Amino acid sequence: MRNGQRSLLVDQWVADYRDILSRLELTASREQLGLQELLTEARDRTDGRRDRLAEASPSVPLPLWIVLVLGGGVAVPLQLSMADPRERLLVQGALIAGVAAIATAGLLLRKLS
């Protein structure tokens, strides 16, 4: 999980477990109730494993990462090209800094999550 990969050993254990359960022949209601409890616990373990695998994978997918980088690379130069020489330098700087801050926050989202 540390590398975002599934464990072949755990996958084999799950397959063996399911194989054993599929071969059981239960006749008494108490046996069937016990099997139902085992299946519920197995489902809970599987759900927990799925959740842990989901948490181990990166939260921001690569296509979104690419769009964020391209968007930041386009937005800041676009703001620079629209600078009005008649406006005060402080106002223009604040507008460009705001766009750069939003682009940077989007890029840092990957690091924080």
* pLDDT number for residue 60: 66
Q: What is the model's pLDDT at position 9?
A: 83
| Helix or strand run (H / E) with residue 51 | helix 29-56
pLDDT value at position 111? Answer: 59
Residue ranges of the chain with pLDDT lower than 70? 1-5, 56-60, 110-113
pTM check: above 0.95: no
Sign (positive/negative) of CA torsion 45, 51, 54, 55?
negative
- CA-to-CA distance for 82 and 94, rounded, in angstroms? 13
Structural domain boundaries in the chain:
8-56, 62-112
Give the pLDDT confidence score for residue 43 in this predicted structure: 86
Q: Please give the Cα distance from 36 to 44 (Å, whole number).
A: 12
